[in-house]
A = this chain, B = another copy of it.
Amino acid sequence: MAQATMAKPKKKVSPSKNGSTAKAKKMTYYFGKTKTEGRGVSKEILGGKGANLAEMTSIGLPVPPGFTITTQVCAAYYDAGKKLPEGLLASITKNVKMLEKELGKKFGDLKNPLLVSVRSGAAVSMPGMMDTVLNLGLNDKSVRGLADATDNPRFAYDAYRRLINMYGNVVMDINHHLFEDEFAKIKRKYKVANDHDVPVEGMLELCEAYKAVFKKESGKPFPQDPMKQLELAVEAVFKSWNTSRAVKYRQLEGIHGLLGTAVNVQSMAYGNMGEDSGTGVAFTRDPSTGKNQFYGEFLINAQGEDVVAGIRTPLPFSDMKKWNKSVHKQLLDIKVILEKHYRDMQDIEFTIERGELFMLQTRTGKRTGPAAVKLACDMVKEKLITREEALLRIPADHLTQLLLPGFDPAARKQAKVLTKGLPASPGAAVGKLAFTAEEAVERTAAGETVLLVRTETSPEDIDGMHCAAGILTSTGGMTSHAAVVARGWGRCCVAGAGEIEINQKSRKALINGRLLTHKDTISIDGSTGEVYLGELKTIQPKLSGDFSTIMSWADKYRTLKIRTNADSPADAKKARDFGAEGIGLCRTEHMFFEEGRITSMREMILAEDEKSRRAALKKLLPFQRRDFEGIFKAMKGLAVTIRLLDPPLHEFLPHEAKAQKDLATELGVPVSQIKRRVKQLHEMNPMLGHRGCRLSISYPEILEMQVTAITEAAIKCKKQKIDIAVEIMIPLVGTQTELSILRQLTEETIAKVRQAKKFTGKLKLIIGTMIEIPRAALTADEVAKDADFFSFGTNDLTQMAFGYSRDDISGFLPDYLEQGVLLVDPFVSIDQTGVGQLVEFGVNKGRQTKPDLKIGICGEHGGDPDSIDFCHRVGLDYVSCSPYRVPIARLAAAQAALRHPKK
């Protein structure tokens, strides 16, 4: 959905005004056999996890009973200055009582104690970002009760030490290394290597040691009252909503406007009660390819977090059949039930306690771009969803992944495969090794391309993962942190490549006997899991039939035309292949930088008078004509919008002493002349200087040369029976008079060329302007009088409306995102609130003068789905974006049309 770029100040967004009424709202929702209150209650209130637990319970799936504390309670907690609202504890107590009754267990009971998990769950999934406490309800007494009830004292004490550890870590903020050190001591004492080889006595000692750590670090003994444990754990979950990690994650993911997190208190089911227990996660279809195949992993005798944390490498779902055939079948049945119910691929968590299956969670599964396309097509075929739903379900941005290059098969053959891991997130990435997130961030900022290579990743690594070209881990499976996050972003990832030994300290990796350092380059293939030595050549992917299907559906629904930004025949051709319906921006300045041209360009700039300027321009004319001819031919009659020279002239001159000397020699002028001109052209704020149409006002001969080249190329094409449709675009117009003067000059020049070439046929040549100066948007009614079309240059419009220099925004953008002044970089997604008003003025005032004025956008926003949605709503005729984003724009335009049908 289109979202406003700007944050309201936080204190106003949180429903502080509702604080008092929030108290009156229902705070908890029970789910279980007794009753299920939350069915149909929105995710905004119950969180995704809570809502789905209620749903699953309702449709009869085996869910351990429990209750959900709403996100509104979290908001009220923050509104009250981090205080749990009145009445919450009473409500929790009531629910616990109900739970005790349903399960026949009692909180803190000596014989058969009720144990619960406490988990966060916001409306939008934030995997691993917030906190969880398991086994809550255990204390020095009830642990004995659990031991008795399960007849498994080792399990009971293991559960207790886990509780103390998690509780200490989550609620009291005690460093988990302190607990791990104690565990290591015990293991040394009992001379065992693995955790589960520690005998029951060891576990007992461990619990005591953990309690000692707890007391030492927190200053208080471990709380023995289960209700107190629960209260503090609930508060800890609320607190975890606003850790910097969680805030950062929401920022990166563009998640905002949420009330807070819900808290799910659920009776425990144990996957670690022995060899007949286990735990697992699964996707109802392959989240990487979209293939309709139940896709899961499980660990025997383990608790859920063991799978997600990626510490042990799990078994594939296919292995389950041997281990427990009935559960295996039960899960396959549940897949069908869930997909029918939710009409989408699900990501589930389950636990098998002594052979009995419990569903702990279901949610819509994250998927790669290719998977999203295949799932959407398949589900339409299966009549699960409509075409419209299919289109709306694919995040347009994720199509990038289908268009990403892969490795060249020939290069692949010759390359050395170092090792192979799991194909966790598709794509091909090449880079040097970076061993920590910080290193990845720093070296990327310094201009290097790096792969983040870690034993495992954790939420602390988010920054480094985001900037790396790809991620490679040595442990963890397809559902490990690295894999899930990477897929979400469409970042290439190979996970669990167990043959790699990583030494983070010495910044070295040993792969099958080969030692690699931060200086080495490797290539990883996220679609196969292969890791290659050195840099492999990449090639363009072949697009699937499903992709074509989605594109053809999108084309049917969208009303926006899609053009591309292309400066060369090759780019033009590529964009046409992706479905571009014209060129919305052909920048002519790039043409001047090529060999053989730049010298004449510089000669023109150095010219002391109009005559020598014209002489130099004359040399550039044939080059420009040839370029335009090539582009016209590639576009075969589709519209080509050519922007006349835009950047300030100094950009074309050399600024280094050596280059200046070379130029002087080449042109046969004293170097002092070049230095003088460079100095003369220097500007304090070149962005706001002598550029764009201002150049043509000062030096009309530049415009004349460019328009001559365009017209000559157009006539040449027409004489060869090649259709052309050219739109001459005058940049940086701020006043009608500029456009009026330059339009007249353009028309006169065209007429001169026609006369010189004796061409009297029809030429589709229209003249328009970019709307990129705020004043042009404000006076668009006047500007339109001399324009056949408008094209919004929202990059510059954003620069000037905000007063942000794109080149300098890095000085404060991080602070602005951090403090929520900006929710997204306004150069990535258009600021609909402010810049958007200027666009609307431009459209409305322009069409007030000329109702049929053709209007498009050619800034980089033209490839951003949210911005495309905005463009659709304000009534643009087309968007123009880079060739690779054309498919994204086609889909986003269709989604916009579906969301906002024209009346």
By a beta-carbon cutoff of 8 Å, the part of chain A in contact with chain B is 6-9, 11-12, 683-690, 694, 697-698, 732, 734-738, 740-741, 772-775, 778-779, 782, 786, 796, 799-805, 807-808, 811-812, 815-816, 819-822, 831, 833-835, 837-838
The answer on a CB contact under 8 Å between B775 and A9 is no
Provide the bound-state CA to CA distance between A9 and B786, in Å.
10
If A698-B815, A819-B697 touch, does A688 touch B737 (CB 8 Å cutoff)? no
Ranked 5 nearest A-B pairs via Cβ: A688-B805, A9-B740, A685-B805, A775-B834, A684-B807
If A687-B688, A808-B690 touch, does A801 touch B821 (CB 8 Å cutoff)? no
Chain B residues within an 8 Å CB radius of A8: 736-737
* Whole-angstrom distance between the Cβ of A366 and the nearest chain B Cβ: 30
If A683-B811, A690-B808, A697-B812 touch, does A821 touch B9 (CB 8 Å cutoff)? no
The answer on a CB contact under 8 Å between A779 and B833 is yes
Chain B residues within an 8 Å CB radius of A697: 812, 815-816, 819, 821
Chain B residues within an 8 Å CB radius of A775: 801-803, 831, 834-835
The answer on a CB contact under 8 Å between B683 and A803 is no
The answer on a CB contact under 8 Å between A7 and B737 is yes
If A815-B697, A815-B698, A835-B775 touch, does A734 touch B690 (CB 8 Å cutoff)? no
The answer on a CB contact under 8 Å between A689 and B819 is no
The answer on a CB contact under 8 Å between A821 and B6 is no
**Closest B residue by C-beta to A772:** B803
**Closest B residue by C-beta to A681:** B811
The answer on a CB contact under 8 Å between A804 and B688 is yes
The answer on a CB contact under 8 Å between A741 and B9 is yes
26 residue pairs from A and B, CB less than 8 Å apart: A6-B736, A6-B779, A8-B736, A8-B737, A683-B805, A683-B807, A684-B686, A684-B805, A685-B686, A685-B805, A685-B807, A687-B805, A688-B800, A689-B805, A697-B819, A698-B815, A737-B819, A737-B820, A741-B821, A773-B801, A774-B802, A774-B803, A778-B801, A779-B833, A779-B834, A779-B837
Chain B residues within an 8 Å CB radius of A801: 773-775, 778, 800
The answer on a CB contact under 8 Å between A802 and B773 is yes
Provide the bound-state CA to CA distance between A838 and B732, in Å.
19
* Whole-angstrom distance between the Cβ of A702 and the nearest chain B Cβ: 13
Chain B residues within an 8 Å CB radius of A796: 803
* Whole-angstrom distance between the Cβ of A733 and the nearest chain B Cβ: 10
Provide the bound-state CA to CA distance between A492 and B167, in Å.
85
Chain B residues within an 8 Å CB radius of A779: 6, 833-834, 837
Contact of A6 among B732, B735, B802, B812 (CB under 8 A): B735
* Whole-angstrom distance between the Cβ of A443 and the nearest chain B Cβ: 18
Chain B residues within an 8 Å CB radius of A799: 688
The answer on a CB contact under 8 Å between A812 and B687 is no
Q: Which of A12, A698, A775, A835 has the most CB of B within 10 A?
A: A775
* Whole-angstrom distance between the Cβ of A685 and the nearest chain B Cβ: 4
Chain B residues within an 8 Å CB radius of A694: 811-812, 815-816
Chain B residues within an 8 Å CB radius of A838: 774, 778
The answer on a CB contact under 8 Å between B808 and A683 is yes
Chain B residues within an 8 Å CB radius of A774: 774, 800-803, 834, 838
* Whole-angstrom distance between the Cβ of A739 and the nearest chain B Cβ: 9
**Closest B residue by C-beta to A814:** B698
The answer on a CB contact under 8 Å between B737 and A808 is no
Provide the bound-state CA to CA distance between A805 and B774, in Å.
14
* Whole-angstrom distance between the Cβ of A699 and the nearest chain B Cβ: 9
Chain B residues within an 8 Å CB radius of A684: 686-687, 805, 807-808
Chain B residues within an 8 Å CB radius of A811: 683, 689-690, 694, 698
* Whole-angstrom distance between the Cβ of A678 and the nearest chain B Cβ: 14
Provide the bound-state CA to CA distance between A113 and B799, in Å.
72
* Whole-angstrom distance between the Cβ of A829 and the nearest chain B Cβ: 15
Chain B residues within an 8 Å CB radius of A738: 821
* Whole-angstrom distance between the Cβ of A787 and the nearest chain B Cβ: 13
Chain B residues within an 8 Å CB radius of A804: 688, 734
* Whole-angstrom distance between the Cβ of A446 and the nearest chain B Cβ: 14
The answer on a CB contact under 8 Å between B688 and A837 is no
**Closest B residue by C-beta to A5:** B735
Chain B residues within an 8 Å CB radius of A740: 9, 11-12
Chain B residues within an 8 Å CB radius of A803: 687-688, 732, 734, 772-775, 796, 800
The answer on a CB contact under 8 Å between A808 and B689 is yes
Provide the bound-state CA to CA distance between A8 and B785, in Å.
11
Chain B residues within an 8 Å CB radius of A835: 775
Chain B residues within an 8 Å CB radius of A837: 778-779
Provide the bound-state CA to CA distance between A740 and B9, in Å.
6
The answer on a CB contact under 8 Å between A9 and B736 is yes
Provide the bound-state CA to CA distance between A772 and B694, in Å.
24
**Closest B residue by C-beta to A775:** B834
Provide the bound-state CA to CA distance between A820 and B821, in Å.
41
Provide the bound-state CA to CA distance between A738 and B821, in Å.
6
Provide the bound-state CA to CA distance between A731 and B342, in Å.
51
Chain B residues within an 8 Å CB radius of A786: 9
Chain B residues within an 8 Å CB radius of A816: 694, 697
**Closest B residue by C-beta to A683:** B808
Chain B residues within an 8 Å CB radius of A736: 6, 8-9
If A686-B684, A801-B778, A803-B773 touch, does A735 touch B808 (CB 8 Å cutoff)? no
**Closest B residue by C-beta to A822:** B735
* Whole-angstrom distance between the Cβ of A730 and the nearest chain B Cβ: 13
Chain B residues within an 8 Å CB radius of A687: 684-685, 688, 803, 805
If A741-B819, A808-B688 touch, does A778 touch B834 (CB 8 Å cutoff)? yes
* Whole-angstrom distance between the Cβ of A728 and the nearest chain B Cβ: 18
Provide the bound-state CA to CA distance between A418 and B214, in Å.
97
Provide the bound-state CA to CA distance between A685 and B683, in Å.
9
Provide the bound-state CA to CA distance between A811 and B772, in Å.
20
* Whole-angstrom distance between the Cβ of A688 and the nearest chain B Cβ: 4
* Whole-angstrom distance between the Cβ of A26 and the nearest chain B Cβ: 32
Chain B residues within an 8 Å CB radius of A741: 9, 819, 821
Q: Which of A685, A738, A803, A805 has the most CB of B within 10 A?
A: A803
**Closest B residue by C-beta to A779:** B834
